[in-house]
Amino acid sequence: MNIKKLLIKTFTFIGGLYFFLEFVMPESVFDFDKYHESISNAFITMSCMAVGLGIINLMVLHLDRIVYKKKDYFFSLTLLLSLFITLVILSLDWYQNEKIVSKANKFLTLSKFSEVILDDEKAKNSKVLAVNIRNQKLISELEKDINLIDKNSININEAKERELKEVLERVEKSKDNIKKDYHSTKYNLNLSKRLRNLSIVYREYLQYKNKDSLIKKLYLICFDGFFNPLVMSMFSLLGFYVATAAFKAFKIKSFESFLMMLSALIVILGQVPFGVKIWNGFPSLRLWLLSVPSTGAFRAITLGAFIAGLVMALRMWFSLEGHEKGGKN
């Protein structure tokens, strides 16, 4: 057998073997739980790296049309421009969000540092600096970061901004308590909690302030202007198509189509007030139809599909191909 083909089949088998063993092996023999999340993430990472294939395919197809000015090249240009512009807008929006998070996380870092000082003091850790020096550094860093917040721009008439001002005041109080005695860790836990809260509130405040930025507006045009309405409109096309499909399907050509139409009619009449006016038993009949025979048929179909899927999965795992799948090389 060709060595490349053998290698491919080996990789296929190993990929399946891990998850098979993870399921069948009892914990007493080997505990997979320790590594399972990491290994699962590794496989997801591997699949995620393929994300560029779609972009490359789009670019090859549409650039070809644009360069050679083939039919509909204008639309290909539209596609590629919208792709790149959206990439830029989303990237900038992401970057902006990361900047906000990073600013807010400064307080989270100081919160954790305050707790670490307390824990090290309790554990009498001699490998670190003295408590008073660490507290001094904590407070000096905190003061630097607080000074970066432009308190003059906080509008106390706005709820979010008022909340930020209140939290800042509480942090200042805790900070002042520590300043009274750097040797003591009595107020470190309290400061840590308030700093954690400040980090959350400050992030929300910055996101709130950011909503009027140019990037955010472009993002909203992209999503609330184009993307979401396009998604909802496509979804709503179903309303038209379900009517045309019903018109075609409910032409009674056979006993089977009659049964299908009858059950659909009963279910529809059981849902609308008009149906209840004709006969008040329709809602109960509808519920019965959906919960008893439909459930039975649904379960039989899905069970069959699960079994067939399992057989197919076995073939995939052992690379047993009846058709050309990617094994010929």
Interface of this chain with another protein, residues 297 to 316, rule: CB under 8 A: 297-316
Determine the Cα angle at 252 with ends 250 and 257, to 5°.
Answer: 70
The residue behind tokens 């929006």 is 93
A 10 A CB-CB count for 24 gives 8
Q: Which of 99, 119, 132, 293 binds another protein (CB under 8 A)?
A: 293
Please choose, from the candidates 131, 241, 230, the residue with its C-alpha nearest in 3D space to the C-alpha of residue 188: 131
Handedness of CA 202, 203, 205, 206 (dihedral sign): positive
- Segment 68 to 127, residues that bind another protein, using CB under 8 A: 72, 75-76, 78-84, 86-87, 90-91, 94, 109-110, 112-113, 116
The residue behind tokens 């290994």 is 39
Candidates 24-32, 156-164, 168-176, 197-205; binding stretch for another protein (CB under 8 A): 24-32
Handedness of CA 69, 72, 78, 81 (dihedral sign): negative
Q: Is 274 in the site for another protein (CB under 8 A)?
A: no
Q: Which of 25, 67, 156, 252 binds another protein (CB under 8 A)?
A: 25
Q: Which is nearer to another protein, 27 or 150 (CB)?
A: 27
Q: Which of 63, 66, 146, 249 binds another protein (CB under 8 A)?
A: 249
Q: Which of 46, 67, 252, 278 binds another protein (CB under 8 A)?
A: 46
Rounded to a whole number of angstroms, the distance between the first and last alpha carbons of the chain is: 11
Q: Which is nearer to another protein, 165 or 196 (CB)?
A: 196
Give me 192's structure tokens: 């840590």
Q: Which of 1, 255, 273, 280 binds another protein (CB under 8 A)?
A: 255
Site string for another protein, 134-163 (x = CB under 8 A): x--xx-xx----------------------
- Segment 218 to 237, residues that bind another protein, using CB under 8 A: 220-222, 224-237
Interface with another protein (CB under 8 A), residue total 156
The residue behind tokens 């308590």 is 177
Site string for another protein, 187-216 (x = CB under 8 A): ------------------------------
Q: How far apart are CA 23 and CA 59, in angstroms?
A: 42
Q: Which is nearer to another protein, 47 or 280 (CB)?
A: 47
For the CA atoms of 116, 119, 124, 125, the dihedral, rounded to the nearest 10 degrees, stands at: -30
Alpha helices in 123-213 (DSSP H): 131-147, 159-180, 188-210
Nearest distance, CB of residue 113 and another protein, angstroms:
4
